[in-house]
């Protein structure tokens, strides 16, 4: 089991995001530290020498990946071709509040099901109409039915019998599913929602869902960075 943190330097809204200073340490170090509490091996996959040097400086494992790779999943697949394991876990490099238990539970579910796994948590009411917060519908067997930026399930009569769920950006893949996924062509459904995981569902790959009580927040803007910094300064867990 290898954890991979794809870490791209370029960001439209927050340039140099992996190296953003949070209480004296780069953001990627916070993520790496959380991942190492859950997994025996973690590697940062980056296409930028500045990120490579920063990870080496704090003693982390890091691998340079081609700049031509289009996504974090492709960077993880590149690592999978260089480092042997049965399972690989993708941890978002811009989520320093991710909880180790969320990572661990997702990895364990992937191993039990021998399939892709990803975590969810209860959706806060104020995020139901927020397109930046991804929602997911789950079937009776624990597999994801659909992911969307739209409000799902939509309460047609004004009341929801099903509690909405928020998708969190961690994925655990068996190696065969990871390599198959990156070999598949992006779909119109995926491109419409701008959600890569819809490619897996479109082509019939199962994604099992691990429920966690720990929420996480992605850092996309300076305001997000300040909010996360304030949170970590208080050393509070993001739970419900």
Over the chain, what is the mean pLDDT? 92
Mean pLDDT to the nearest integer, 185-195: 95
Residue 102, number of CB atoms within 10 A of its CB: 27
> pLDDT digits over 7-66, tens only?
988 776 778 889 999 999 999 999 999 999 999 999 999 999 999 999 999 999 999 999
> pLDDT digits over 161-189, tens only?
678 999 999 999 999 999 999 999 999 99
239 band by pLDDT with thresholds 50, 70 and 90? very low
Instruction: State residue 240's pLDDT score.
Output: 43
Task: Give the bridge partners for 89, in sequence order.
Answer: 3, 172
% of residues, the chain, pLDDT over 70: 96
How big is the chain by its Cα radius of gyration, in Å? 17
In which element (H, E) is residue 209 found? strand 207-211
Mean pLDDT to the nearest integer, 100-108: 97
DSSP tag of 96: T
The vertex-34 CA angle with 163 and 17, nearest 5°, equals 90
pTM: 0.90
**Comparing C-alpha atoms, which of 4, 181, 171 is closest to residue 80?**
4
Instruction: State residue 237's pLDDT score.
Output: 46
Domains and CATH numbers, the chain: 2-220 (3.90.550.10)
> How far is residue 87 from each of residues 52, 174, 178, measured CA to CA in Å?
23, 4, 9
Q: How far apart are CA 179 and CA 184, in angstroms?
A: 9
Asked if residue 79 lies in contact with residue 88, where contact means CB atoms within 8 angstroms, the answer is yes
In three-state form (DSSP H/G/I as H, E/B as E, the rest C), the secondary structure along 20-64 is CEECCEEHHHHHHHHHHCCCCCEEEEECCHHHHHHHHHCCCEEEE
């Amino acid at each position: 089991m290898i954890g991979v943190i794809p870490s791209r330097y370029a960001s439209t809204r927050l340039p140099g995001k992996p190296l953003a200073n949070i209480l004296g340490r780069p953001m990627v170090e916070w993520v790496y530290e959380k991942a190492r509490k859950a997994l025996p091996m973690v590697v940062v996959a980056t296409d930028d020498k500045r990120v490579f040097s920063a990870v080496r400086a704090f003693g982390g494992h890091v691998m340079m990946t081609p700049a031509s790779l289009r996504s974090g999943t492709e960077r993880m697949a590149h690592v999978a071709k260089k480092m042997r394991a049965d399972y690989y876990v993708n941890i978002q490099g811009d989520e320093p509040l991710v909880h180790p238990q969320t990572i661990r539970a997702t990895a364990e579910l992937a191993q039990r099901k021998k399939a892709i796994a990803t975590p969810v948590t209860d959706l806060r009411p104020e995020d139901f109409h927020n397109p930046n917060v991804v929602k997911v519908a789950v079937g009776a067997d624990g597999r994801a039915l659909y992911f969307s930026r739209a409000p799902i399930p939509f309460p047609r009569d004004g009341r929801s019998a099903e509690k909405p769920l928020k998708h969190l950006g961690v994925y655990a893949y068996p190696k065969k599913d990871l390599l198959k996924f990156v070999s598949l062509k992006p779909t119109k459904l995926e491109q419409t929602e701008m959600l890569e995981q819809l490619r897996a569902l479109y082509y019939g790959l199962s994604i099992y869902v691990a429920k966690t009580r720990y929420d996480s927040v992605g850092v996309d803007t300076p305001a997000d960075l300040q909010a996360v910094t304030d949170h970590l300064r208080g050393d509070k867990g993001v739970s419900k």
